[in-house]
Amino acid sequence: MPEALLTQILPTPSEAKQAEETSRLLSSRLRSKTPLRLRVVGAPEDETVVLPASALKMLVGILDEMGRGNTVTVIPVHAELTTQEAADMLSISRPSLIQMLDEGKIEFRKVGTHRRVRFESLTAYKRKVHAERLAALNELAAYDQEIGI
């Protein structure tokens, strides 16, 4: 995957403000299922950009995060990550990730001697772990209710 996709740069305060204002303006168009036509300022009058409704929803989400001063990373769902990129996304060490891969907890493939993890496999693992944690918390809450805590 191109490294530029994973480069994280914090927006400047002025960029965050611009993003917040633009997000607010575009949010009113989210209910529409039709593409948004935008005129490019400084270009000939007939030059417009057509933004599909699904792309508008993503753009508003990106602008919301930027408006809060957060970095945003866009990763195609079919992208393949290096073990270091995958470990960084899980906030674990690379050796810990490799152990999980070898135990079959996350799907991967080998390219020569290198492991590659599909982004969708990584997100599936994260969803599974989240569901397991939520179930454990619900079980603890039920037990607390049962014993009267």
Single-letter amino acid, residue 41: V
As beta bridge partners, residue 80 has: 118
Cα gap 91→102, rounded to integer Å: 18
- Write out pLDDT tens, residues 50-62: 999 889 999 999 9
The tokens 């270091």 sit on which residue?
84
- State the burial class of residue 72 (Cβ atoms within 10 Å of its Cβ: 0-12, 13-18, 19+): middle
Domain boundaries, the chain: 3-67, 80-147
- Tally the residues of the chain: 149
Mean pLDDT of the region 47-72:
92
Please give the model's pTM, rounded to 2 decimal places.
0.62
Helices (H), 1-149: 13-27, 53-67, 83-90, 94-102, 119-147
The burial of 71, by beta-carbon neighbours within 10 Å (0-12 exposed, 13-18 middle, 19 or more buried), is given as exposed
Q: How many CB atoms lie within 10 A of CB 83?
A: 17
What's the chain's average pLDDT? Answer: 89
- Better pLDDT: 61 or 74: 61
What pLDDT is attached to residue 4? 45
Tokens describing residue 60: 């508003």
